[in-house]
Amino acid sequence: MAAVSRSLRGVRLPTRRRDWRLMGRTARLVLTLPTYAAVAVLASALSLTAFVVSLNVPIVLDLVLGGSLPLGSRLTILGELFPFLGTNFTAVQGLLLIAVAVLTGVDIAMATYHFREHGLDLQQGGAGAAGVVLGTLGAGCAACGSAVLVGLLSLLGVTGGLLFLPLEGLEFALGAVVVLTLSIYWLADGMRGGEINGCPVDI
């Protein structure tokens, strides 16, 4: 616990231009590996699907998974739940949701890479290791964090009240972008000094 507290005190934020370049380079290097590129694509697709399905679970249970509609109708109904295919989201909402899904995919691919290839040792890793833990937890939360939030808020009966927010609930998607960006930075920071696919991570 003390080690975690020490590590948390040293957690950094991406405040410099080189931090952003580090994030970009690390993500790019990880995604050049076909396995991790596939992980990223799969995680992105799953997170977006989890979110849109969570908003319309009855349709999916009644008509896509259950019921007696032909396969074509089931696929059409499922597709219509997604941004830009259906009409449930504005263009801005759709872009934000896709951005969150893409960042989630990159984040999960990086966390998977870091753990599988480098392992983790808090004594050696310091802030980077804490960042990886936070980053991994962040990736798990962000995969369906907004869905959880919508569920919790509807349990409290305040879903309609979300529309009182200036951006009518988009604040949560923007929050997810911030969390994911931090998570990716912490993961990249944790990989600093190492190599990915034979290339040095440090810029």
Which chain residues interact with other proteins by CB under 8 A?
3-4, 50, 54-59, 61-63, 66-67, 69, 72-73, 76-77, 80-81, 86-88, 90, 111, 115, 119-122, 129, 133, 136-137, 139-141, 143-145, 147-148, 150-152, 154, 157-160, 163-164, 168
| Smallest distance, other proteins to C-beta of residue 184, A | 15
| Smallest distance, other proteins to C-beta of residue 198, A | 24
160 or 198: CB nearest other proteins: 160
Residue 151 CA: distances (Å) to CA of 139, 155, 167: 19, 6, 19
76 or 181: CB nearest other proteins: 76
* Residue 170 to residue 81: CA distance in whole angstroms: 18
* Residue 150 to residue 175: CA distance in whole angstroms: 14
* Residue 8 to residue 125: CA distance in whole angstroms: 12
Helix H or strand E encompassing 124? helix 122-125
3 or 13: CB nearest other proteins: 3
**Residue that the structure tokens 């997810």 belong to:** 176
62 or 171: CB nearest other proteins: 62
* Residue 104 to residue 44: CA distance in whole angstroms: 6
* Residue 126 to residue 192: CA distance in whole angstroms: 12
| Smallest distance, other proteins to C-beta of residue 3, A | 7
| Smallest distance, other proteins to C-beta of residue 173, A | 15
42 or 199: CB nearest other proteins: 42
CB 14 within 8 A of CB 182: yes
| Smallest distance, other proteins to C-beta of residue 63, A | 5
